[in-house]
Amino acid sequence: MKRNLTVILLSVVLSVTAAVIITNYINESPGTFFYSSDEPSSLRQVVLEHQNFPDFTYAAESCVDGVVFVKVVKREKNREASILEHFFGYGNPYSMPRESVNSGSGVIISPDGYIATNNHVVANGQQIEVTLNDNKTYPATLVGADPVTDVALLKVEAQGLPVIPFGDSDSLRLGEWVLAIGSPFNLRSTITAGIVSAKGRSLPDMRGEFKIESFIQTDAAVNPGNSGGALVNTKGELVGINTAIASNTGSYTGYSFAVPVSIVKKVVDDIKEFGSVQRAVLGISMVELTQELASLAGMKGDFSGVYIAEINKSGAAYKAGVREGDILVAISGKKMKNPSHVQATINGYKPEDVVEILIFRDGKEIKMEVTLQGEANAVAMADDNSAKVMGATLGEPDKDLLRKLGLRGGVEVKSLEKGKFKDAGIGKGLIITYINQTPVTSVKEALDVIKNAKRGLLIEGVYSNGDVYYYGVGV
């Protein structure tokens, strides 16, 4: 009996000791675990650090000061008073313009005051103000904006601001934890957590406008006011700018979308350097590759890439030898998954860059070198009264100067930076009267002509001394 009791006690002691040792080892040492699916070749490595659950405190505390509250004041022009209002007193034809206030978020990307946000947050704003997490408030200037990617760049006059460093959005993994930081419903410095639900996601554009959409989809809660705020990884690095939600109610219902930081960085750098986005284009129209389309091209077995449905015969791809019906498999060695992936990849290049593409045609793969072309409508900043295009800031000229020169209207070159306007020899102060033989009397009219230009711009204008000049600007 005593012997049996001793054996039992000894077994208990050994079991407890082994459990303690194993527990300490797991808690004190990072563990590497391998998960294998039914496929023998499908082996994924998962590394667990000290905690089995993620700790967001570092990312939250290090990034919250780098996100600002953005307040935008918009003034709506009053409609012209009718004859009844003038002569019979209906309404007030001399009332002040109505003001509306929008708000959103922004991300500090440099200590000297550059802030990234969404174009739709600041579009048509006459007054922009940003408030830091410590409640300091600064007036902000719109440096430039790109409606195609919905990215805008603001500048405040300050130094030593807290910055969120850029991360690598291309290396994000599905299921990776991310944090969304912003000011939903004016609840400033709100932090929510979620995972990366999908990458390269595109959203339908009901207005039919061209968009570059390769969103990061997350299930981090994002609501009105989060737009322009930060999406960060657990290292405290910026991986995206929160932009949109998918909702039938206008509020968060489980899906939110962010512009990848790879696109944000390209847009911001172009606006700083050129005054407008230097967007490269292939000159093709694409559709998702299906089994049927792959079979038509002679692709057997597993298939990947995008199907080229149409091609611009004056575009970069056609000049390199690409044709309708080809399948675009890879760009610079990177396999293409869908049209959004192609857009995001090409958006990382500038006009005149040379890229290697891999296409599939007639049962075989062909490599080609493509010299990318630029986009004509490179407008970086636009509202009713001003625009920044090809390095030139266009605005309304002084009415007294128009009367002095005998002009009914025009658009004045307010300032010049590096860009195609300056390269063409255009000087500051030129009042543009015609573009491509079309009279322009407002910034909007000028932009409409520029956006529709196919080959180049013939600009006619008058300087303040009355001299008339003509300039040719390539697009």
pLDDT tens for the 475 residues of the chain, in order: 555 656 566 665 666 565 555 555 444 444 444 444 454 445 555 555 545 567 899 999 999 999 999 999 987 655 444 444 444 444 454 455 677 888 999 999 999 999 999 999 998 888 999 999 999 999 999 988 888 889 999 999 999 999 999 999 989 999 999 999 999 988 999 999 999 999 888 775 544 445 666 899 999 999 999 999 999 999 999 999 999 887 777 778 788 999 999 999 999 998 887 777 878 888 888 888 888 888 887 887 777 889 998 888 888 999 999 999 899 999 999 899 888 888 888 888 888 889 999 999 888 899 999 999 876 445 555 555 777 777 788 888 888 888 888 888 899 998 887 777 888 889 999 999 999 888 988 888 888 788 777 667 889 999 988 888 899 887 6
User: Is residue 228 classed exposed, middle or buried when 0-12, 13-18 and 19+ CB atoms within 10 A define those classes?
Assistant: buried
Is 213 within 8 Å of 243 (Cβ atoms)? no
CA distances from 456 to 71, 133, 149, 374 (A): 38, 47, 24, 12
Rounded Cα gap, residues 475 and 467, in angstroms:
25
The residue annotated as part of the active site, out of 227, 256, 262, 276, is 227
The residue annotated as part of the active site, out of 103, 105, 146, 150, is 150
The residue annotated as part of the active site, out of 65, 120, 170, 353, is 120
Rounded Cα gap, residues 368 and 473, in angstroms:
30
Catalytic annotation present for 150:
yes
The pTM score is: 0.68
Residue (of 170, 73, 175, 88) closest to 124 by Cα position: 73
Rounded Cα gap, residues 469 and 379, in angstroms:
23
Catalytic annotation present for 398:
no
Catalytic annotation present for 103:
no
Contacts of 316 (CB under 8 A, 6+ apart): 281, 282, 283, 370, 371, 372, 373
Rounded Cα gap, residues 444 and 452, in angstroms:
12
